[in-house]
Amino acid sequence: MQEHNWLLRLENISAGYNGDTVLSDVSLQISDNDFMGVIGPNGGGKTTLLKVMLGLLTPFYGEVIFNRELLTPYNIGYLPQMSEGDISFPVSVRDIVMSGLMQSRGAMARMKRADRERSATVMKDLGIWHLRNRCLSELSGGELQRVYLGRALIGSPRLLLLDEPGNFVDSSFEQGFYDMLKELNKKMAVVMVSHDVGTISAYVKSFACVNGKLHYHDSGRITNDQLKDYGCPIQLIAHGDIPHTVLQKHIDGDINI
């Protein structure tokens, strides 16, 4: 079996807000080919876990260790659960997508022709090319989420953190979205927070259950009993083995209107 390099390691992390502990004694390692589903009840600390990885929240205790040859805290792709951005801000969709390129640049970064071309590719892939000159207040929730997804992907990060991407993804985009993540996973590690254990278990390679503590589950299949053992009381919507291709629509034939 091929050896895989580790990217990021959390060691005995305790973290929270205003002195209240949300995560206690969490340890986790992420390797460069991981596709990890993060599950757990609301308020269990999933978003907090991602913030600790990103350095947005300094833990009370414990260490976040980066394998600096492969990853730094400043080149992680991140899709927040709720963006703090002000959608009435005078900025275009294209500029927001291109902000994902800042990770590899200094404070004096300029956007060049190649950057604009790269942003065009990403926007076309995500089906938001026609929105490129709009400002954010002119978008629907789902469109906005794709813009933020573009921002997370454009820099081709080694590690991609997605916080509940399914929330705004409509069913017509869902299948393509998960397939895209599978493809991206060949080049980057993916950590995805989701409530939809059933759907994602067809894609993820491992699970982390976060409910104050973290339980790591080394496979993409997880049962209700295991969830109960981990102290992760969430409902399984479907079992991971069910192939979801049944629902895939075929629209590649000739259409004559």
Ligand X SMILES: Nc1ncnc2c1ncn2[C@@H]1O[C@H](COP(=O)(O)OP(=O)(O)O)[C@@H](O)[C@H]1O
Asked if residue 47 binds ligand X (CB under 6 A), the reply is yes
For ligand X, the closer CB: 40 or 62: 40
- Cβ neighbours of residue 74 under 8 Å, at least 6 residues apart? 103
Residue 47 within binding range of Mg ion, rule CB under 5 A: yes
- H helices of 99-251, in order, are 113-125, 141-153, 171-184, 197-200, 224-229
CB of 228 to other proteins, least distance (A): 35
Q: Is 184 in the site for other proteins (CB under 8 A)?
A: no
Indicate which of Mg ion, ligand X, other proteins, none lies near residue 64 (CB less than 5 to 8 Å, by partner kind). none
- What's the half-sphere exposure (Cβ side, CA atoms, 13 Å) at 66? 15
Distance CA 118, CA 68 (A): 26
Q: Rounded to the nearest whole angstrom, what is the least distance from the CB of residue 57 to other proteins in the complex?
A: 10
59 sits near ligand X (criterion: CB under 6 A): no
Residues in 76-135 at the binding interface with Mg ion, rule: CB under 5 A:
81
Return the H-helix or E-strand segment holding 115.
helix 113-125
Does position 46 interact with ligand X (CB under 6 A)? The reply is yes
Q: Which does 138 bind (CB under 5 to 8 A by kind): Mg ion, other proteins, ligand X, none?
A: other proteins
Give the three-state DSSP class for 190.
strand
C-beta of 47 vs 99, nearer to Mg ion: 47
**How far out from the chain centre does Cα 212 lie?**
20
The rounded distance, in Å, linking the Cα atoms of 5 and 181 is 20
Q: Does 140 bind other proteins (CB under 8 A)?
A: no
Tokens coding 152: 């997370």
Which residues, 59 to 118, sit near other proteins by CB under 8 A?
A: 73-76, 78, 80, 83-86, 89-92, 95-96, 99, 102-103, 105, 107-111
Give the binding site for ligand X (CB under 6 A). 17-18, 22, 40, 42-48
